[in-house]
Structures are given as structure tokens and as C-alpha cells.
Amino acid sequence: MSEVRTRIAPSPTGDPHVGTAYIALFNLCYARQHGGKFILRIEDTDQVRSNQKSEDDILAALSWLGMNWDEGPDKGGDFGPYRQSERSDIYKTHVEKLLDEGHAFHCFCSSERLSELRKQQMTEKKPLGYDGHCLNLSDSDRADKLQQNIPPVIRMKVPETGSCVVKDMLRDDVTIDWQQIDMQVLMKSDGLPTYHLANVVDDHLMQITHVIRGEEWINSAPKHLLLYQYFGWEPPVLCHMPLLRNADKSKLSKRKNPASVGYYQRMGYLPEAVCNFLGMMGWSMPDEQEMFSLEEMISNFDINRVSLGGPVFDAEKLDWLNGRYLREALSDDEFIQRFSQWAFQPDMLQAIVPLIKQRVERFSDIAPLAAFFFSGMPTIDEQSFEHKQLKHEDAKKILQFIAWRIEGLDAWHRDRIETALMLLAESMGIKIRDFLFPLFIAIAGSSVSTSVIDSIAVLGLDITRARLRHAIAILGGVSKKQLKNLEKEYAALEQKSGQS
């Protein structure tokens, strides 16, 4: 049998997600267990949303967790480049081949036509998807349109009848009718591939033998299998892992649970505990032992023991496990060393010192002033929000609106945060001092503190969001009904500030 090769293929469009780390872990274990290779490929075909910072953060997060890859954009390897944006020519050649062989076609439909079509399919309660309008254009029609500079996309052809059988390591065969499968765009009008084309071409060229990925991709499998067939390639073995869930069984979302690896790092979890915890998601050691190292997981790994019932990312369980690591796995010396590494990270200190330096007379003044940068949730209660101008309901609303506003920021920069919050205060008609008061309490636990905007810029979105959520809960939380009203009010504000 050929060498086992697995991969993690993140899109660098945001904070490194624990879901990515979870899938990476299972790919890593599978490859290592078979003496194979684990590859990291960056899927940055979405040029608008992809960014270098996110890529760097993803690599740093996986490294922090000890999930080492053998080939990747930073390491090289025999199958590079490992960043899709550097492989455009490869995709062009492949899409040409599909066109030549009649497996794909140019589509000139305008976005207006497509949205009209969608609307119509929705009213008629028909399945959504492309209707094949450009499927049978004659050569001369096509040449005409190209001459008129109408930018085409390239779509794949899909059989009109019959069905596709998807084989998966963890489930019985899944049969999906071709009629349900859309004529997927493979190449956009800017000449860049979509995920589906790039993913299949790369998995093949990088000789990936096993594709272990999240369950949300299972519906794309027929398109991928069809592409393998069109190219005349052997498809890899597929394995769709159950998705991580919040306690209420909904899909793990950052609104309900901090979901970025950076959050856990910042909060002082040990990477080996986080890795162990991710290993418990849908999987267990044969002896059901709960504390195990990555090496132990690899030597006992058996992908068939993954259970499909949605694993719950239970933050309390992670706390418990991390506590055990701190108490049981580290000697005092190791504890000192690991704690110092965490507390005295140069990046963090460099960001904090300018904020506190002007305010101290002795080093002993630092700890009380800077403590909130290093803690979890501040110790606050309802009384902490007492304010002459603001009722608790107002404070809650401000905090909720701030949470929504900062979530929408496309970059986490001090000035961007400041402008966004100033505009929000203005549109809510609240004086900035009053507006910032609940934020100070939520973030620093007190209104006497370093600038709250500087502070949240340093703390990062995840910690900020977690503290906002904590403060809102202290203020009594938001019921479903309240949430609806707040959402309405917020949307109206957004519209207002958009127009001004």
C-alpha cells in the first residue's frame, strides 16, 4: 500500500478555530499511526477574506498545540507550493482539460439573472441551483459573448439522472441523487478556482490518501467524486468527522463558546491539555482513561472508534482536565517555568507596558493595575454597574451592541475599534463617557483603569467577547424576546449610521 498522506486544509479567514485543531489532530494521528505524512495546505482561494495574519495565527496555533506537520507553506516539501494562491496555473490547466473533454462549460449568466432564478425557485419551492441556461451554448454564441467581454465562470456538468454513492470510513454508504447536485462553479470570472476544484486537484497532486474533514463537507463529496472521475483519478478515502457542538447541541459557535485557539492560550490552558481534550471529542482511549498524551493517542489510535454523536465542547470539562495537568503533570519547577513562559510573553508585555508605565511609581503598583490583562473574568456583580445616568438595562444594551459592533470589524486595530465605538455611541445618542462606563466594568472590573479601548485592543476579540458575555449574564442575561428586540434596534442603528 502506498504511504498514508493526510492533510489539514484551513482557509486563512479568521482566528484559528478549535474545530480546525480538532480535525488537524485526527489527521495527524491517522498519518502517524500508519507511519505516513501529515500535510498543511493553505486554502486561500477566497482572496477577499484570506489574510496573512490569519495564516500566521493558524500555523502558530497548531504549533503551540504540538501538532507538527511534515510539509507546508513554511516547511516546503515535494508537492508544493502549499498555498493555493500560488497554484493558479495548475488549476487553469486542469479546468482547460475539463472544458476540452466536455465535462465543464462556460456560464455567462449575470448575477441578476441568478438571483432572479433563485427567487423563483424559492417561490415555487423547487430545489435551488443552476438551471443549465448556458449548458448548450454553441461555439459561436460563446465566442460572441467572450468578444463582448462578458466575464464567464466555468461550471461543472452533472449527470441528470442516477445517483452517487459516497463511501465514508465512519458511516454506511450515503446515496445522493445527482438531481440534488448543483452545477458547481469551478472557476470564478477572475480566473481563480473555487474550493471544490482546488481542493480536488490539490488532494490528487499532493497524493493525499485519506481526506479526514468536518461533516459539513459531506454534501460536497458527490461533486468531488465526479471531478475525480472526470480527471480519471482514484479518489482518496473519505472520512467525515462529527462537528463539535455547544452544550445545547448547536454547532460550536464563537457566540456561545470561545472558539479560537488563541483564547485558550491567552487564558492559560496548557497546550497538552487542550490537545488531550480535543482527542476526547468523539473518541476515547481503549481503556477509557481521560488523561492521555498525543503520543499515547497516536499509539492507541483507531479511527473506527470515532463515534458520530456530536461531541460537546464542554468548557467545564476542559477546565477540569487542565487543572489536572497543572496539578498532576507538572513538577513545581516545570510549573514555574511554564507559568513564567505564559505570564511574561514578550508580545504581551510590550503591549501592556506603554499603557501602565505612566501610571506607576513602583514596580509593586503594576500587579493591581495590570491584573485584568492576565485574569479570566473580572470579579463583578450587578452593583458594579451602578451609574447615575445609566440603568442596568441600558448598560446591558450598550454591551450587547458593542459585542456586535466589534465582531463586525475586519481588523483588530486600536484605531478601528475606537472609531467603531465612537460611532456607535453617537448613533445611540449616549455621551461617550457614559457609554464607556459599562465597558470598563465588563473588561477591567473597574472604571479606574488604563484606557478601555487600548485594553481591549491588547486583550483581543475573544477575551473581550467572553468578558462582554460574562457582564451581560451578570446583568441578568438577554432573553430570546429581548434579543429579537435588540437585534431590530441594532439593525436600525446600523442603517442610520450607514446613511449618515
Give residues in contact with ligand GLU (CB under 6 A): 9-11, 43, 195, 199, 213, 217
Which distant-in-sequence residues (6+ apart) come within 8 Å of 101 by Cβ? Answer: 230
Smallest distance, Å, CB 156 to ligand GLU?
A: 17
Q: What is the 3-state secondary structure (H, E, C) of 314-328?
A: CHHHHHHHHHHHHHH
491 φ/ψ angles, rounded to the nearest 5 degrees: -60, -40
256 φ/ψ angles, rounded to the nearest 5 degrees: -105, -25
Smallest distance, Å, CB 43 to ligand GLU?
A: 4
Round to whole Å and give the CA distance between 28 and 70: 10
Asked if residue 453 lies in contact with residue 414, where contact means CB atoms within 8 angstroms, the answer is: yes
Smallest distance, Å, CB 409 to ligand GLU?
A: 21
Q: Which is nearer to ligand GLU, 26 or 105 (CB)?
A: 26
Round to whole Å and give the CA distance between 252 and 171: 22
Widest Cα–Cα separation across the chain:
81
Smallest distance, Å, CB 196 to ligand GLU?
A: 9
Smallest distance, Å, CB 271 to ligand GLU?
A: 22
Q: Which is nearer to ligand GLU, 68 or 220 (CB)?
A: 220
Round to whole Å and give the CA distance between 181 and 481: 38
Q: Which is nearer to ligand GLU, 9 or 261 (CB)?
A: 9
Cell of 492: 436600525
Smallest distance, Å, CB 235 to ligand GLU?
A: 12
Which distant-in-sequence residues (6+ apart) come within 8 Å of 97 by Cβ? Answer: 231
Task: Give just the sign of the alpha carbon dihedral 45, 51, 52, 57.
Answer: negative
Find where cell 450598550 sits.
Answer: 398
| Active-site residue identified among 254, 317, 397, 481 | 254
Smallest distance, Å, CB 406 to ligand GLU?
A: 24
3-state secondary structure of 240: strand
Asked if residue 400 lies in contact with residue 392, where contact means CB atoms within 8 angstroms, the answer is: no
Alpha helices in 344-479 (DSSP H): 346-356, 366-374, 392-407, 414-428, 432-444, 452-474
Q: What is the 3-state secondary structure (H, E, C) of 50-84?
A: CCHHHHHHHHHHHHHCCCCCCEECCCECCCCCCEH
Asked if residue 91 lies in contact with residue 73, where contact means CB atoms within 8 angstroms, the answer is: no
Q: Which is nearer to ligand GLU, 224 or 469 (CB)?
A: 224
Q: Is 125 designated active site?
A: no
* DSSP characters over 94-159: HHHHHHHTTSEEEE---HHHHHHHHHHHHHTTPPPS---TTTT--HHHHHHHHHTTPPPEEEE---
Smallest distance, Å, CB 240 to ligand GLU?
A: 10
Cell of 130: 443552476
Q: Which is nearer to ligand GLU, 11 or 276 (CB)?
A: 11
Which distant-in-sequence residues (6+ apart) come within 8 Å of 11 by Cβ? Answer: 42, 43, 44, 46, 49, 50, 195
Which residues form the catalytic set? 254
